[in-house]
């Protein structure tokens, strides 16, 4: 693609000679003579570079600059100004112009500036593209965590990305099942096609089938037009069957067929539709138990369970807690324009909290702390009361255990002294077996 440049200049001679010089260099050039025309041209077209005079009849070069920056912030703007009006030029630089050139100028000097601007523009554009790509590659925020458990998950994901197999993601609420599902999709060869999510728990039972498989016009009262189902929409991509443990029995049967044959029928249709989808399912239920209780079809379970991924609860990977806090904290600081950090003591309390709501709960806690703290540093008293309470209970419990242990140790020592170290007699007096006594001597490290 040839790079296109727009020149905004009311002086005809300057406009034409500059346009000719740029055309000779191989650029596509559009020339306009006033600000109004320039603004509508910027609205309609996309340019790699804007070169504009500052003093124009009607709207000024500053208006052109502002318009260009709002339409396309990464497009550089070079302003031209008559000698003696440098102040205006400096002002435009402050507003975001790339550079300024004083008139009369040397064409070579102008070309050097143009080339420099276009180089910067292409780097900026490349960066934006890469960033977008990176975002769509992961689809969602990156997965945070360096614990052994998470490393094992990454290794599994790496392998999965090279296959087409059905994946079943298991884990408590808030452990990141949806995040993992979208990562699997965006790391697969299907990443340029959509991932369609179906929340099996939120769909009313009588609507699930029409949602999943679509319907023909007239299939039922109210079906005024043909409607594609989620499986149609996911063709070529992935379908994410979230909360699959909550699927009603009849739909389980239908899903099983799609899994086995990759075909289904629309409601009210006679022909069979084939789809090319990768199936990713997730649930926070213990599916095996659901199968035992007869609530989940065993054959469907085995179909889904080709590659199971079990996400560990956050309390089993405590070392990830500080990493997650850091990541959420900097993301939220960016979003809210704040500059808050977490004190080490607060992080320590959180590391020892049990997180029944897992990563989602931690995210909510971090957000709440940043919003509510009066200081730049989040302290333990900024934490939600139930987190602090859990910590206090834990400390009290361990204190009680220490007190009991100390008393027990003292008592055993006394009895052993009394019996002059006779363990059989001591055990008898203490009312415990010899073996138990021996164990207690060991645990209390009684050096006899």
Beta carbon of residue 169, minimum distance to Mg ion (angstroms, whole number): 9
Q: Which is nearer to Mg ion, 177 or 191 (CB)?
A: 177
Among the listed residues 117, 146, 136, 257, the one whose alpha carbon sits nearest the alpha carbon of residue 188: 136
Q: Tell me if 277 contacts ligand ATP by CB under 6 A.
A: no
Binding site partner of 359, from Mg ion, ligand ATP, none, Cβ cut-off 5-8 A by kind: ligand ATP
Check: CB of residue 74 under 8 Å from CB of residue 121: yes
Distances in Å between the alpha carbon of 155 and those of 24, 148, 150, 162, 184?
55, 11, 9, 12, 12
Alpha carbons 142 and 162: distance in angstroms, whole number: 19
Check: CB of residue 7 under 8 Å from CB of residue 49: no
Binding site partner of 173, from ligand ATP, Mg ion, none, Cβ cut-off 5-8 A by kind: ligand ATP
Beta carbon of residue 369, minimum distance to ligand ATP (angstroms, whole number): 16
Q: Tell me if 141 contacts ligand ATP by CB under 6 A.
A: yes
Binding site partner of 141, from Mg ion, ligand ATP, none, Cβ cut-off 5-8 A by kind: ligand ATP
Name 284's Cβ contacts closer than 8 Å, sequence gap at least 6.
170, 171, 172, 173, 175, 177, 243, 245
Among the listed residues 110, 133, 143, the one whose alpha carbon sits nearest the alpha carbon of residue 25: 110
Whose CB is nearest to ligand ATP? 176
Selected range binding ligand ATP among 42-50, 167-175, 370-378, 405-413, rule: CB under 6 A: 167-175
One symbol per residue from 326 to 365: x for binding ligand ATP (CB under 6 A), - otherwise; what is it? ---------------------------------xx--x--
Rg (CA), the chain: 34
Beta carbon of residue 299, minimum distance to ligand ATP (angstroms, whole number): 24
Alpha carbons 203 and 281: distance in angstroms, whole number: 15
The three state secondary structure string of 276-318 is CCEEEEEECCCHHHHHHCCCCCHHHHHHHCCEEEECCCHHHCC
Binding site partner of 284, from ligand ATP, Mg ion, none, Cβ cut-off 5-8 A by kind: ligand ATP
Beta carbon of residue 322, minimum distance to ligand ATP (angstroms, whole number): 13
Alpha carbons 235 and 70: distance in angstroms, whole number: 38
Binding site partner of 269, from ligand ATP, Mg ion, none, Cβ cut-off 5-8 A by kind: none
Q: Tell me if 153 contacts ligand ATP by CB under 6 A.
A: no
Binding site partner of 363, from Mg ion, ligand ATP, none, Cβ cut-off 5-8 A by kind: ligand ATP
Question: Which secondary structure element, helix H or strand E, spans residue 165, and what is its range?
Answer: none
Q: Tell me if 312 contacts ligand ATP by CB under 6 A.
A: no
Structure tokens at 136: 């769509």
Helix ranges (H only) for 337-384 are: 344-351, 358-372
Alpha carbons 191 and 133: distance in angstroms, whole number: 11
Binding site partner of 395, from Mg ion, ligand ATP, none, Cβ cut-off 5-8 A by kind: none
Check: CB of residue 240 under 8 Å from CB of residue 181: yes
Of 175, 193, 238, 373, the one binding ligand ATP (CB under 6 A) is: 175
Q: Which is nearer to ligand ATP, 284 or 341 (CB)?
A: 284
Long-range contacts of 115-118 (CB under 8 A, 24+ apart): 117/49, 117/76, 117/78, 118/3, 118/48, 118/49, 118/76
Binding site partner of 179, from Mg ion, ligand ATP, none, Cβ cut-off 5-8 A by kind: ligand ATP
Of 144, 219, 233, 291, the one binding ligand ATP (CB under 6 A) is: 144
- The residues that touch Mg ion, with contacts defined as CB under 5 A, are 177-178
Of 21, 28, 93, 143, the one binding ligand ATP (CB under 6 A) is: 143
Of 179, 203, 208, 212, the one binding ligand ATP (CB under 6 A) is: 179
Q: Tell me if 173 contacts ligand ATP by CB under 6 A.
A: yes
Query: Where does this chain bind ligand ATP (CB under 6 A)?
Result: 141, 143-145, 171, 173-179, 284, 359-360, 363
């Amino acid at each position: 693609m040839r790079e296109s440049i727009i020149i905004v200049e009311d002086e005809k001679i300057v406009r034409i000679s500059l346009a000719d010089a740029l055309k000779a260099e191989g650029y596509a050039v559009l020339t306009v003579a006033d600000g109004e025309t320039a603004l509508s041209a910027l609205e309609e077209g996309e340019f790699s570079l804007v070169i504009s005079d500052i003093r124009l009849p009607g709207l000024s070069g500053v208006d052109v600059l502002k318009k260009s920056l709002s339409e396309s912030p990464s497009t550089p703007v070079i302003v031209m100004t008559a000698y003696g009006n440098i102040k205006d030029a400096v002002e435009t630089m402050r507003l975001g112009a790339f550079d300024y050139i004083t008139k009369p100028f040397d064409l070579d000097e102008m070309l050097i500036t143009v080339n420099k601007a276009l180089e910067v523009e292409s780097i900026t554009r490349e960066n934006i593209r890469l960033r977008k790509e990176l975002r769509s590659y992961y689809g969602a925020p990156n997965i945070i965590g360096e614990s052994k458990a998470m490393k094992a998950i990454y290794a599994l994901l790496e392998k999965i990305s090279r296959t087409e197999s059905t994946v079943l993601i298991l884990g408590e609420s808030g452990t990141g099942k949806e995040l993992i599902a979208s990562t699997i999709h965006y790391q697969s060869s299907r990443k340029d096609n959509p991932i369609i999510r179906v929340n099996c728990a939120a769909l009313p039972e009588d609507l699930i089938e029409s949602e999943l498989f679509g319907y023909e016009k007239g299939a039922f009262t109210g079906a005024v037009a043909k409607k594609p189902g989620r499986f149609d929409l996911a063709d070529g991509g992935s379908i994410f069957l979230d909360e699959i443990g909550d699927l009603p029995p009849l739909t389980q049967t239908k899903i099983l067929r799609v899994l086995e044959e990759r075909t289904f029928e629309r409601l009210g249709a006679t022909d069979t539709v084939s789809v090319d989808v990768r199936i990713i399912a997730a649930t926070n239920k213990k599916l095996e138990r659901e199968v035992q209780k007869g609530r989940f079809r065993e054959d469907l379970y085995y179909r889904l369970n080709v590659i199971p991924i079990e996400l560990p609860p956050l309390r089993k990977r405590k070392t990830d807690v500080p990493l997650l806090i850091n990541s959420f904290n900097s993301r939220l600081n960016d979003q809210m324009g704040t500059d808050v950090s977490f004190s080490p003591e607060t992080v320590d309390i959180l590391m020892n909290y049990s997180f029944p709501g897992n990563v989602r709960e931690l995210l909510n806690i971090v957000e709440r702390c940043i919003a509510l703290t009066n200081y730049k540093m989040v302290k333990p008293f900024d934490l939600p009361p139930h987190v602090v309470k859990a910590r206090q209970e834990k400390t009290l419990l361990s204190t009680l255990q220490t007190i009991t242990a100390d008393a027990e140790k003292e008592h055993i020592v006394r009895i052993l002294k009394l019996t002059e170290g006779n363990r059989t007699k001591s055990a008898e007096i203490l009312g415990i077996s010899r073996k138990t006594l021996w164990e207690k001597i060991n645990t209390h490290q009684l050096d006899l």
